[in-house]
Amino acid sequence: MRKKIVAGNWKMNLNLQEGVALATELKEALAAEKPNCDVIICTPFIHLATVAGVVEGTVIGLGAENCADKEKGAYTGEVSAAQVKSTGAQYVILGHSERRSYYGETVEILKEKVDLALANGLKVIFCIGEVLEEREANKQNEVVAAQLESLYHLTEEQLANVILAYEPVWAIGTGKTATAEQAQEIHAFIRGIIAGNFSEKAAEEISILYGGSCKPSNAKEIFSKPDVDGGLIGGAALKCADFKGIIDAWN
Ligand code: 13P
């Protein structure tokens, strides 16, 4: 059985004190009521070491939102996969559409990042998804297939440490969610690509999350689809009650 997962992506929100307060609130909410899925929070780099202490020994996993495409050295302002790992984090988001579009992250750069993350013992939450014009031109399948090329060189053993997140760019932060049917259709297509490039077993085992304006009111319907294994949550991950509401969609 593949994992059901609800992961939060805090993006560039919350100062350290606010982040610690949110992680603490979530920890208390989940201690009172055990979740029926894996729960992960992905925070800005500066929160990681402190939040790691807050969530240690709980059901909450911790991740970064990015890491460098270089191992170490004179890359001012960058944070390496090894540095992320040393904070106590277990995950890293790579290939988010905001990184691809605002910071020019290409398939090749992401391949380097994926390799470094996995080599340093991090699990990767790898994001893919099309922009509105591509959806309108019915090109979403070829777009996600091309984005997945950053993973094709992995061994099946390495792929077992990758979670996919399908996030249509037109649904991120817009309040416009993909329908459950649209999500199911492309998730099934993505799973088929994994089957073709790896194996049926790898495809069956990989978790594919949906992201884009997911909230407590629509999570249950989206998660009810057979190829949707949970969500990667932006805005709604910044409020404990909303994030918990999405986690509860798995109950
Ligand atoms: P929103 O949930 O705010 O639409 O963001 C989704 C996202 O980009 C998560 O990575």
C-alpha of residue 150 to centroid of ligand 1, in Å: 21
- What's the gap in Å between 210 CA and the centre of ligand 1? 9
pLDDT value at residue 176: 87
pLDDT of residue 241 exceeding 90, the answer is: yes
Residue 1: the pLDDT is: 79
The single residue of 96, 98, 130, 187 carrying the catalytic annotation is: 96
Express each pLDDT in 82-93 by its tens digit. Answer: 999 999 999 999
Q: Does the annotation mark 28 as catalytic?
A: no
The answer to whether residue 21 scores a pLDDT higher than 90 is yes
Q: What is the pLDDT of residues 125-147, one digit of tens each?
A: 999 999 999 999 999 999 999 99
3-state SS string over the chain? CCCCEEEEECCCCCCHHHHHHHHHHHHHHHHHCCCCCEEEEEECHHHHHHHHHHHCCCCEEEEECCCCCCCCCCCCCCCCHHHHHHCCCCEEEECCHHHHHHCCCCHHHHHHHHHHHHHCCCEEEEEECCCHHHHHCCCHHHHHHHHHHHCCCCCHHHHCCEEEEECCHHHCCCCCCCCHHHHHHHHHHHHHHHHHHCCHHHHHHCCEEECCCCCHHHHHHHHCCCCCCEEEECHHHHCHHHHHHHHHHHC
What's this model's pTM, rounded to 2 decimal places? 0.98
Walk me through the domains of the chain, giving residue ranges and CATH numbers.
5-250 (3.20.20.70)
Tell me the per-residue pLDDT of 171-195, one tens digit each, with 9 for 90 and over: 999 988 899 999 999 999 999 999 9
Average pLDDT over residues 42-47: 98
214 Cβ inside 6 Å of ligand 1: yes
